[in-house]
């Protein structure tokens, strides 16, 4: 957050970027937040300005859905390096940050706040989901899809299915950064060589999975919780934006607004609303222009979140 006069106010105004970032992060399932109040040097390290900003920011992240008690607030000057790695001498009034998450933590600097993030569990025990970022044809080797393992593991000898392409084949080898891997795990960006599949059959946006363990499938329609961030006017049935989900980028239609819900609790407020507007959340029946691979957020989070934008 920028501490400058007018800058902070613009950021958290109704259409401000800070507000949008916090809402997007919360909506997309980002659980942990750090608030760094930057450019403190331009306020001459005013404690009054800092307190004003953290009070306002706490109120507004609470409205978004975060609990301010779990959020470290750190006054910094990125330009001068204050409180980034070493504690600053410019703010004797600053006693440090603290947060209450799984464990209580406290510190002085931004780096310490980053180090105190609770490490997420990597979902390697789930069935494989690997959205393709690209497919290469490599002379002498053959077809090599590449992408990041989101859940599960991929290893040589596995029989994988690509959805929604409906292609099934054996994995010959897996590598990362040009080195052979015994297995690729969640977070790994891997390339893997597949048998008897031409580059034309699979593409970016397809998802690879284990053919024997809950393989991915394409779908013609799905119901999703959608939040309107900032959209001029109203959104109703028939609205046709472009949707980005994992690596898929595809035109999609809001076929039906099923119910309007409370953004924070998820409880229904109104059945079959005609329209939704900025700030509203709704359950919407979506129809992609061609079958695509999506999953329930509860089962495979990376394949259950998406953003839509006007064409």
Q: Does the fold of domain 222-309 match that of domain 130-210? A: yes
Residue 21 binned pLDDT confidence (cut-offs 50, 70, 90)? confident
Task: Say which residues have a Cβ less than 8 Å from residue 161's Cβ, sequence separation at least 6.
Answer: 167, 168, 208, 209, 210, 211, 215, 216
199 forms bridges with which residues in the sheet? none
The string over 47-83, giving b where at least 16 C-beta atoms fall within 10 Å of a residue's C-beta and e elsewhere, is: eebbeebbeebbebbeebebebebbbbbbbbeeeebb
% of the chain beyond a pLDDT of 70:
100
251 forms bridges with which residues in the sheet? 242
pLDDT tens, position by position, 115-130: 999 887 878 999 999 9
Q: Does domain 130-210 have CATH number 3.90.380.10?
A: no
pLDDT tens, position by position, 44-101: 999 999 999 999 999 989 988 899 999 999 999 999 999 999 999 999 999 999 999 8
pLDDT tens, position by position, 204-225: 999 999 999 999 999 999 999 9
Residue 8 binned pLDDT confidence (cut-offs 50, 70, 90)? confident
Q: What integer is the mean pLDDT of 284-293?
A: 96
Q: What superfamily does domain 7-115 belong to in CATH?
A: P-loop containing nucleotide triphosphate hydrolases (3.40.50.300)
Domain ranges of the chain: 7-115, 130-210, 222-309
pLDDT tens, position by position, 268-287: 999 999 999 988 899 999 99
**Strand extents, DSSP E, the chain:** 35-37, 73-75, 97-100, 104-107, 130-138, 142-148, 159-163, 167-176, 179-180, 189-194, 207-210, 222-227, 235-236, 242-245, 248-261, 268-271, 275-276, 281-288, 306-309
- CATH fold of 222-309 reads Elongation Factor Tu (Ef-tu); domain 3 (2.40.30)
The pLDDT assigned to 209 comes to: 97
pTM of the model: 0.72
């Amino acid at each position: 957050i920028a501490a400058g006069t007018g800058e902070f106010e613009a950021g958290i105004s109704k259409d401000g970027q800070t507000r949008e970032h916090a809402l997007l992060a919360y909506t997309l399932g980002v659980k942990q937040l750090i608030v760094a109040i930057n450019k403190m040097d331009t306020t001459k390290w005013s404690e009054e300005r800092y307190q004003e900003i953290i009070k306002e920011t706490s109120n507004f992240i609470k409205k978004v859905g975060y609990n301010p008690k779990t959020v470290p607030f750190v006054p910094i000057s990125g330009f001068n390096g204050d409180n980034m790695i070493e504690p600053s001498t410019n703010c004797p009034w600053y006693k440090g940050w603290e947060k209450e998450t799984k464990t209580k933590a406290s510190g002085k600097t931004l780096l310490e706040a980053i180090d105190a993030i609770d490490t997420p569990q990597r979902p390697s025990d789930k069935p494989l989901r690997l959205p393709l970022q690209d497919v290469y044809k490599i002379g002498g080797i053959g077809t090599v899809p590449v992408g990041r393992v989101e859940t599960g593991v991929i290893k040589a000898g596995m029989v994988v299915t690509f959805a929604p392409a409906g292609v099934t084949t054996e994995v010959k080898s897996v590598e990362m950064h040009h080195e052979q891997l015994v297995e690729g795990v969640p977070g790994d960006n891997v390339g893997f060589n597949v048998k008897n599949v031409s580059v034309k059959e699979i593409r970016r946006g397809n998802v690879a999975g284990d053919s024997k363990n809950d393989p991915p499938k394409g779908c013609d329609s799905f119901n999703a919780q959608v939040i309107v961030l900032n959209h001029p006017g109203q959104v109703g049935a028939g609205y046709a934006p472009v949707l980005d989900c994992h690596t898929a980028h595809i035109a999609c239609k809001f076929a039906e607004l099923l119910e309007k819900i409370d953004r924070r609790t998820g409880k229904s407020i109104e059945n079959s609303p005609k329209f939704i507007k900025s700030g509203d959340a709704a359950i919407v029946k979506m129809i992609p222009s061609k079958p695509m691979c999506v999953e329930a957020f509860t089962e495979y989070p990376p394949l259950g979140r998406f953003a839509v934008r006007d064409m």
